[in-house]
Structure 1
Amino acid sequence: MRPFSLRVFVPSGDPTGVLIATRDDGIGKATIFSRPLLGEVKGRREWGFPGVYLLVGESKLYVGEGDPVGKRLEDHASNKSFWDRALFFTAETRLNKAHIQHLESKLVKLAKETGVVALDNGNSPQTPALGEEEYAFAENVLADLLLMLPLLGFSQFEASQAASERVDEDIDVPDALTTARGRSAYSALPRGMLFHSTSKGTKAAIETVDGGVLLKAGSTVAMEPAPSFDVWMPKYAQLRRQLIESGVIAHQNGQLVVMQDQFFSSASGAATVVRGVSSNADGWIGEDRKSFGDLLRALKKKNN
């Protein structure tokens, strides 16, 4: 994460009125208002842009998208009675229909994953097909939006990061952040040790090699990563897509299969790609029934 500033503009001068929030390094703006102020918001330019929106009640949430966003909000004023507060996010020249559909789909999945409030959505919208560049752009917008929302009083998605498994960086250092300490720990491990994992519908194996591990050919990978994977583990999400696009991981007999040995500088990195969720080394079990994490902890204790 990088530092950022959040600027809140109060057009009416009344802090209980309509609020317009923008990030100093962002591409769009969030408009926040209470239900009685819907008529006031209709006069703003943002009303006519494509956007994604949240309707929030005491214990219920609805996530939607619209192009223009205002038409959908106006419809919900008459057919949804539970909400008393709303937020919609727009960017005049940057967000198109596919972008906002992507944001809607990911936000719905995240809301279901957290379970903080009941979700009023009747179904789960699918993410549209986006090219690599457009997908990355939409994911960056989503990540920025998720950082803004709690600061604006919308905490319905906060539990996603806390609920997912963590990479234990003190034990097993992620590939993209591997330090000299992490590399030396892996270099001290015996070569050729095999570890297996059968978690989350996958069956995979790794082998210790100089400086890391090999994810073995024939291992199976989760068909779908966790809904929050792209948000909280973007480097591994990108790596997973690259391995699929390059054919290192391929569809075979209804499964995603590793077609050739693939090097990872950490067991946690291999586990995270395999399971599609942030994972540590404890999920890899050796022939002696001890985990890879146990091995690293013992090595760390010996070296201290």
Structure 2
Amino acid sequence: MTIGSVGRSLELFFIDGKPEGMQTAEVFNWTGHVLLFPRTRIKAALERKEARYTGVYLLLGEADGAPLAYIGEGEDIADRIRSHDQKRDWWTQAVLVTTGANTLNKAHVKYLESRLVEIARSVKRWELENANTPPRPGLSEAAQANMESFLSYLLMTLPALRIDIFQEFAKPAKTQECEAPTNGTSHSPLFELILKKHGLSATAQLEEEGFVVLAQSNARLRWVGESTADGGYARLHEQLRASGVLVEQDTHCVFAKSYAFRSPSAAAAVIIGQNTNGPKAWKLAGTSETFREWEARQIDAATTEPA
């Protein structure tokens, strides 16, 4: 379900001239068309021709302070959205996924709906209002391959619209020996965060996916900082516990899987249980050099090397 590591050109168009308004997203050589709009622009969105096409849609919002979503499909998406506007008052954004030439049929979108629900449930980042996972329709082998390719492009496009419901940050635990680099030249050096006072010890590596805290690292049992000014890290701590990435063990939590954080600060905050300056807290394994100092060395080396 991947499209490789070749660069892709993504075109975002701000229909209202502002990022909080309606947006479209398209990828070169992909037939898909994505329309994102806030609920306040529902009339204008449903007046667009693609809203009458066959496709899948996402309703995004919150309930009881937690992110909530609904995934559906329809041969005329506008009719489905109108129905949800009357029955569901929690959603604040909607995403319509169609094709520019309206080439998807009912079986196609039912397949996409089923797969999207499966993925969202496996990732466990958002709660789903869908009562169950719809069954996949009987598509030919070729049609299934086409829909999986379509899905790969869609899953690449949605994060560009800041929609992370399908993003898998948890990584399977892998058995590998990671020696602490002595000169910081390793492609993926090992960093550590140790708090002897609280019995916490964690290791992490900088990878393409982000700052990856490795499986078996320790974290605080509960968030102890101020949840009103935590930048969302308190909620992230709760989400990782709920999804099984963090598992309670005696007086602390253990990472059951490696997990890719967006930054060293996000990783440190979840581990320590309060806002933390990650670049200063993480140290190059076996040294006293902070992540910030290590990063500065990499930048200096890059800017002094001949082009």
TM-score bracket relative to the smaller structure: 0.5 to 0.7
The 1:8/1:158 distance shift into structure 2, 3 A limit, reads: same
Residues of 1 paired with 2:171 and 2:147: CA distance? 22
Residues of 2 paired with 1:28 and 1:169: CA distance? 39
Deviations 1:103-150 (A, max 9, x none): 100110111111111111012101101001111000000111011111
Match of 1:25 among 18, 26, 29: 29
User: What's the counterpart of residue 134 of structure 1?
Assistant: 143
Residues of 2 paired with 1:56 and 1:154: CA distance? 9
In terms of fraction of residues, the more strand-rich structure is 2
User: What's the counterpart of residue 53 of structure 2?
Assistant: 49
- Deviation at residue 42 of structure 1 after TM alignment: 1.4
User: What's the counterpart of residue 176 of structure 1?
Assistant: none
Match of 2:43 among 39, 43, 53: 39
Residues of 2 paired with 1:134 and 1:6: CA distance? 25
CA contact (8 A) 1:4 1:25 kept: no
Match of 1:125 among 118, 125, 134: 134
SS in 2 for 1:37: helix
Residues of 2 paired with 1:54 and 1:48: CA distance? 15
Q: Is residue 98 from structure 1 mapped to residue 117 from structure 2 by the alignment?
A: no
User: What's the counterpart of residue 211 of structure 1?
Assistant: none
User: What's the counterpart of residue 207 of structure 1?
Assistant: none
* Number of equivalences: 169
SS in 1 for 2:102: coil
User: What's the counterpart of residue 252 of structure 1?
Assistant: none
SS in 2 for 1:31: strand
SS in 2 for 1:84: strand
- Deviation at residue 14 of structure 1 after TM alignment: 3.3
SS in 1 for 2:44: helix
CA contact (8 A) 2:54 2:102 kept: no
Unaligned runs of 5+ in 1: 171-304
User: What's the counterpart of residue 81 of structure 2?
Assistant: 73
Q: TM-score, normalised by structure 1?
A: 0.53
User: What's the counterpart of residue 249 of structure 1?
Assistant: none
User: What's the counterpart of residue 116 of structure 1?
Assistant: 125
SS in 1 for 2:73: strand
Among all aligned residue pairs of Structure 1 and Structure 2, give the percentage whose two residues are the same amino acid: 33
Unaligned runs of 5+ in 2: 178-307
Match of 1:6 among 10, 13, 18: 10
Q: Is residue 153 from structure 1 mapped to residue 162 from structure 2 by the alignment?
A: yes
Q: Is residue 64 from structure 1 mapped to residue 57 from structure 2 by the alignment?
A: no
Q: TM-score, normalised by structure 2?
A: 0.52
Match of 1:88 among 96, 111, 116: 96
In terms of fraction of residues, the more helix-rich structure is 1
SS in 2 for 1:57: strand
- Deviation at residue 154 of structure 1 after TM alignment: 0.6
SS in 2 for 1:71: helix
- Deviation at residue 169 of structure 1 after TM alignment: 9.9
The 1:120/1:22 distance shift into structure 2, 3 A limit, reads: same
Deviations 1:161-214 (A, max 9, x none): x435377799xxxxxxxxxxxxxxxxxxxxxxxxxxxxxxxxxxxxxxxxxxxx
Residues of 1 paired with 2:174 and 2:156: CA distance? 21
Q: Residue type matched to 1:165 in 2?
A: P
What's the RMSD between the two structures over aligned residues?
Answer: 2.0
SS in 2 for 1:154: coil
User: What's the counterpart of residue 188 of structure 1?
Assistant: none
Which runs of structure 2 are paired with 1:151-190 in the superposition (5 Å)? 151-159=160-168, 162-163=169-170, 165=172
Deviations 1:20-53 (A, max 9, x none): 1101121111000000100001110001100111
Q: Residue type matched to 1:5 in 2?
A: S
